[in-house]
Amino acid sequence: MDQNNKDSEEENEKEVTPPSDESSELEAAPEENEEEEEFDDGEEEEEDFDLEAQIETFLEQIEEDPDNCLNYYNLGEAYMDLGEHQSAKTQFELALQYDTEQEFASIIHFAMGEVYFSELMSGIQSKVIISSVGLHSAHKAGESIVDVTDDDYRLPIREFELALELIDKLKADEEIVEHVSLNAPLQIADLNYKWASDLIDKSRQIDNYGGEIKDVKKAQKLLKKTVEINPNHSQANLMIKYTKKMLQEGWESYDEYGFMAKKIEGLG
């Protein structure tokens, strides 16, 4: 990777260190004595940490070293911490563009997946995951999913998949490599579960849209993918049993006044 025309000897001596508690910045690993000094001062630095000031620092670093993909990655993480998702995605896309050797693409794709996942969870869907495991026939106006856009789930899943596919190229600390290796599959499992849960909630909406059985079958496949990755995913295991019952026996949906609004016949 081109580190702004630094000689190869310096570049070979560099490696990426994991984000600290105060900031998500990736940078060259310090010498051992410097590392101990940073650790000793950690509490004091945390008290004085200013995310806005950190963003200004990253912007200055980009101005000084515009070909360094890590500068864009660090800025993207800072925007993510502020909840500015679109700005974060823009910086991660630039980081991928400048990471010509894909030496850091794994962690960048992982970060991009987290942005998409955070956006997905900030919508109304995040309110009904628990209800899909609980009150299966209860509906409240404004809280039932009426449509599910597949790309909302495919995009973050693909980013986490790319993070895993490119992990062998990742030039980073063992801690970062381990973090991606362990958490990317779990994120994929949770996304499959959420996708399935939203499809089930959609099928239980009051309006009859004609694709209820198809959506529940799709949800069942997604739930099975979830437990393949994470066999201990208790909610997914519960929902697999529930979808089997739905498909066999059918189900009913009730309006907010307790009257049956829709009945779907099972497949027997």
pLDDT digits (tens, 9 = 90+) for 169-206: 999 999 999 999 999 999 999 999 999 999 999 999 89
| The pLDDT of residue 24 is above 60 | no
Cα separation, 134 vs 128, in Å, equals 10
Model confidence at 49, in pLDDT bands (50, 70, 90)? low
Q: Which residues face 172 on adjacent strands?
A: 16
Q: How far is CA 234 from CA 8, 37, 130, 223, in A?
A: 50, 43, 12, 11
Q: What is the pLDDT of residue 130?
A: 42
- The residue type found at 136 is H
Residue 38's CB: how many other CB atoms inside 10 A?
13
The Cα 99–Cα 94 span in angstroms is: 9
> Residue with structure tokens 């060259």?
28
Q: How confident is the model at residue 146 (pLDDT cuts 50, 70, 90)?
A: confident
Q: Half-sphere exposure of 8 toward its Cβ, with a 13 Å CA cutoff? A: 0
pLDDT one-digit tens code per residue, 65-101: 999 999 999 999 999 999 899 999 999 999 999 999 9
Interatomic CA distance for residues 4 and 2, integer angstroms = 6
pLDDT at 26: 63
Pick from 263, 212, 266, 265: which is nearest to 244 by CA? 266
CB-CB contact of 111 with 92 (8 Å)? yes
Tell me: the pLDDT tens digits for 109-125? 999 999 999 988 876 44
